[in-house]
Chain A
Amino acid sequence: MENPPHLILHSQKDPPAYSEDGVDLTLIRWMLSLTPTERLNVLQQNMLSIVRLKHAGIRAADY
């Protein structure tokens, strides 16, 4: 049975996933595929996630 797509590992034919200094190049390629508006939306979502996690951490510490 074939693996579902999310289980397929990085093949040697693919461009490298990481640079030699450890930068995730797949994230860069993904960001470059977006429009500037979409990139800004990604940033806004990241901010929202961080704030939510921070508040979840504060609530958890209260218990």
Chain B
Amino acid sequence: MQESVPQIIEILRVLDDRQVKFIIVGGVCAVLHGAPITTFDLDLVHSRAPDNLNCLVKALIDLDAYYRGHLKRIKPDIESLASPGHHLLMTRFGPLDLLGTIEKNLGYANLIGHSEEIQIENLQLRILSLEHLIEIKEQTFREKDRLILPVLKHTLQEREKNKKK
């Protein structure tokens, strides 16, 4: 069986088309900051404001999203997406993890001040700052998060050196 490769840009494009507000966190965020790591899932913290949840559900319909790891195809709805929990989804472009909150119950409203805007192709996207990503990874006890910490810290150091040049 041929396994397809996640198409991150296509997921982001659908969310952008539907004007969904979100912040990219996790491994993809680290890569976009310049960290040489590999990941297979796209982690996003979405705004849980009612207007945004409406846009998000429409985008998830466009993406044919359903919860991974269930025998039945359970589709995410507004009520569940309004929760602070994690929604591990599969879409027609690959896995998508929607996180109501991350470490220490931080949601979109808490993180927006620690994010920055970047451009990928014609999309204006928000990613968590590298400094804050490191701070969050330092607070976690998950081994896989702690493993990439040295890479993130050296990426930040090298970036700071480049700025001084």
Q: Which residues of A contact B (CB under 8 A)?
A: 19, 21-25, 27-32, 34, 36-37, 39-40, 42-44, 46-48, 50-51, 54-55
> A31 CA to B120 CA in the complex, in Å?
15
Q: Find out whether the CB atom of A19 lies under 8 angstroms from the CB atom of B150.
A: yes
When C-beta atoms are compared, the residue in chain A nearest to B12 turns out to be: A40
Q: In the complex, how many residue pairs between chain A and chain B have their CB atoms under 8 Å apart?
A: 70
Q: Separation in Å of the A47 CB from the closest CB of chain B?
A: 5
| Pairs across A and B, CB under 8 Å, 26 listed | A19-B150, A23-B150, A23-B151, A23-B154, A24-B36, A28-B35, A28-B36, A28-B151, A28-B158, A29-B158, A30-B36, A32-B158, A34-B34, A37-B121, A39-B34, A40-B8, A40-B28, A40-B31, A40-B120, A43-B8, A44-B5, A44-B7, A47-B5, A47-B6, A48-B5, A55-B3
Q: Separation in Å of the B135 CB from the closest CB of chain A?
A: 19
Q: Find out whether the CB atom of A44 lies under 8 angstroms from the CB atom of B159.
A: no
Give the B interface residue count (CB, 8 A): 28
> A21 CA to B148 CA in the complex, in Å?
12
> A27 CA to B34 CA in the complex, in Å?
9
Q: Separation in Å of the B66 CB from the closest CB of chain A?
A: 21
Q: Is B155's CB within 8 Å of the partner chain A?
A: yes
Q: Find out whether the CB atom of A25 lies under 8 angstroms from the CB atom of B154.
A: yes
Q: Is B118's CB within 8 Å of the partner chain A?
A: yes
Task: Classify the interface of chain A: helix, strand, loop or mixed.
Answer: helix
Q: Find out whether the CB atom of A28 lies under 8 angstroms from the CB atom of B34.
A: yes
Residue in A25, A27, A43, A55 whose Cβ sees the most chain B Cβ within 10 Å: A43
When C-beta atoms are compared, the residue in chain B nearest to A32 turns out to be: B34
Q: Find out whether the CB atom of A32 lies under 8 angstroms from the CB atom of B3.
A: no
Q: Separation in Å of the B20 CB from the closest CB of chain A?
A: 18
Q: Separation in Å of the A10 CB from the closest CB of chain B?
A: 16
> A22 CA to B34 CA in the complex, in Å?
18
CB neighbours (8 Å) of A28 from chain B are 34-36, 151, 154-155, 158
CB neighbours (8 Å) of A32 from chain B are 34, 155, 158-159, 162
When C-beta atoms are compared, the residue in chain A nearest to B127 turns out to be: A36
Residue in A28, A37, A44, A55 whose Cβ sees the most chain B Cβ within 10 Å: A28
